[in-house]
Amino acid sequence: MTACRLEPCIKLPLSEEKLRESVDKAKDWTLMHGISKRSMKNYSKDQVQLLPFTLIPSSFPQKPFLIVKNVQVLLNQLIHKVAYDKEFLTNSLKSTIQTDSFTAKLFRIYETVYEEGFSQNISLGLLRSDYLLHDDCKIKQVEINTIAASFAALATITSQYHKYILGELGYTKEANERIPENNAIIGFCEGLVRAWELYNNTEAIILFIVEDVTYNISDQRFHEFQIRQLCPKIKIIRRSLTSLTLEEVKLGPNKELIVANMIVAVVYYRSGYELEAYPTEKEWDIRLLIERSRAIKCPSVQYHLAGTKKVQQSLAQSSVLKKFLKDETSVARVQEIFTGLYTLDFNEDGEKAIEMGISKPNKFVLKPQREGGGNNIYNENIKTWLSSMRDSQERTAWILMDRIYPPLQKNYLIRAVEDPSLEDNFDLLEVITELGVYGVIIGDSNNIIVNKQVGHILRTKASSEDEGGIVAGVGALDSPYLIS
């Protein structure tokens, strides 16, 4: 299927001289402002390298951009209500937890703390809802992330970079008018600070749960630095689930979470969304202990479950939306951005979806209940996978989604040089873009305390790529240049 085209924000290609001059400036600006990671090939705590980024911002239609920016508070509200509805979570996930061990373990933790009674009823959600344009420039949601929604910091800096580079190319006025303000990092960090304030203990700390080896270090650290600017008295510590021990992590007499002899007000997960973060039962015991505590979790286990693919598939039904969003206007606005999501359960709908996927695999994406990218199935492989697990319970851990073919445009993708013998690391490519919108929500089972949209990110990749991980080096950081 062929997608329609968008014109780049400036005339391309650039002359050889202008291109090389611009790339040199771009590399220095982005590296000196923190658009960087630690190398996965030559890891060192003393060195960082460029994260992939686009030389210029990518064109993006203004109308769909504003539609999804304005609908984010409804999506925040929807996820919050879902997270606090045990019956809905249980019914949505009953087939998934039979076949997906990771979701099953999360659900057991949820059931345990639900039955014991939550020590902390407040949850903090730092969310990112991801979208692709249809070839007719409508916009459809790909997924919503409720745990470790990344790049709020680097998205903010990328918007600043693109204003700089367009100015260097002679388009200062257009850059100021067409690149929207983006304060995602401030929004996320204000959410973390507000949760810390709600805990109401000025001596308490914020705990970041991170990977054993963190490559995406700049994005994570900028959160810490921004929190310090907003509230200098807050102390932040970083731990991985594997480094924490049951001797170091304790519950106090009033269910306080105590780590390294300090009371934790907020636990912010930048890891813990995939099975590899839990190599032994000890890590699951730590996760349960954290959930039993009075610390405010981002996300709480019920928020984590509310972000699963299977729950998103359940929400695609209009009757379900009406349960959580009471007025028809809100339901219609959310329905407008949902794409087709289909269950693979052993029922009539599931059989119909299996037939659709096998007969027209290019029209769909097959998605497992896994986070972190690189797990989806495309094209003829869908037919193979669906045929092989048609009679297996395994299929219930997957969903089928309508495939979206977004419009193409040209842009230069710039990457770090891993091989010193290669002089060039930029190409003018046919690319497609994925928009992410960030949201912050804080509340409990009865009240929503904070609910706002706080910023956005554009992630761009070559149109020939199926997956688009930025840290993995496939996708690139980008900004929208709004067009009418």
| Active-site position among 367, 395, 436, 455 | 367
Catalytic residue among 140, 395, 459, 479: 459
The answer to whether 174 is a known ligand-binding residue is no
Tokens of 314: 């359940």
3-state secondary structure 223-246: HHHHHHHHCCCCCEEEEECCCCCC
Q: Is 459 a catalytic residue?
A: yes
310 marked ligand binding residue: no
Q: Where are the beta strands (DSSP E) in 310-420?
A: 341-343, 364-368, 398-402, 409-414
The verdict on whether 38 is a catalytic residue reads no
98 is in an annotated binding site: no
Active site residue 371: yes
- Reduced to 3 states (helix: H, G, I; strand: E, B; else coil), residue 18 is helix
**Residues paired with residue 450 on neighbouring β-strands, in sequence order:** 442
Catalytic residue check, 150: yes
- Alpha-carbon distance of 184 to 200, in angstroms, equals 25
Tell whether residue 368 is among the known ligand binding residues. Answer: yes
369 is in an annotated binding site: yes
Handedness of CA 455, 371, 235, 43 (dihedral sign): negative
Element (H, E) at 114: helix 101-116
**Does 395 carry a binding-site annotation?**
no
- The DSSP bridge partners found for residue 96 are none
Q: Contact, 68 vs 143, CB < 8 A?
A: no
Q: Which two tokens stand for residue 453?
A: 């949209």
Which are the contacts of 397, defined by CB distance < 8 A and separation ≥ 6?
95, 96, 99, 100, 103, 310, 368, 369
The active-site residue out of 27, 34, 123, 143 is 143
Q: Is 81 annotated as a binding residue?
A: no
Does 91 appear as a known binding residue?
Answer: no
333 is in an annotated binding site: no
Binding site annotation covers 347?
Answer: no
- 226 has binding-site annotation: no
367 is in an annotated binding site: yes
Q: Is there a catalytic annotation at residue 101?
A: no
- Is residue 145 part of the annotated active site? The answer reads yes
Q: Which of 150, 445, 451, 463 is catalytic?
A: 150
Interatomic CA distance for residues 62 and 94, integer angstroms = 40
376 marked as binding residue: yes
Count the neighbouring beta carbons within 10 Å of the beta carbon of residue 177: 11
From the candidates 27, 140, 239, 309, give the one annotated as an active-site residue. Answer: 309
Please tell me whether 475 is known to bind a ligand.
Answer: no
Q: Is 297 left (phi over 0), alpha (psi -120 to 50) or beta?
A: beta
**Is 401 flagged in the annotation as binding?**
yes
From the list 410, 407, 460, 467, the residue with the least C-alpha distance to 2 is 407
Q: Is 361 annotated as a binding residue?
A: no
**Given the DSSP bridges, would you call strands 409-414 and 426-443 parallel, antiparallel or unpaired?**
antiparallel
Distances 283 to 272, 275, 276, 430 between C-alpha atoms, Å: 9, 10, 10, 43
Is there a binding annotation on residue 461?
A: yes
- Among 58, 123, 145, 479, the one annotated catalytic: 145
194: annotated binding-site residue? no
Q: What are 456's strand-pairing partners?
A: 437
Instruction: Reply yes or no on whether 287 is catalytic.
Output: no
Is 371 marked as a binding-site residue? yes
Query: Is residue 326 marked as binding?
Result: no
Strand positions, DSSP E, 369-447: 398-402, 409-414, 426-443
User: Catalytic: which of 27, 37, 38, 128?
Assistant: 128
As to burial, measured by CB atoms within 10 angstroms (0-12 exposed, 13-18 middle, 19+ buried), residue 12 is middle
262 is in an annotated binding site: no
**Does 374 belong to an annotated binding site?**
yes
DSSP state of 52: P
Catalytic pick from 111, 167, 336, 372?
Answer: 372
- Residues in binding site for ATP: 143, 309, 367-376, 378, 401-404, 434, 461, 467
- Residues in binding site for Mg(2+): 143, 145, 371
- Residues in binding site: 128, 143, 145, 220, 309, 367-376, 378, 401-404, 434, 459, 461, 467
Instruction: Give the residue numbers annotated as catalytic, written as ranges.
Output: 128, 143, 145, 150, 309, 367, 371-372, 459
- Residues in binding site for substrate: 128, 220, 459
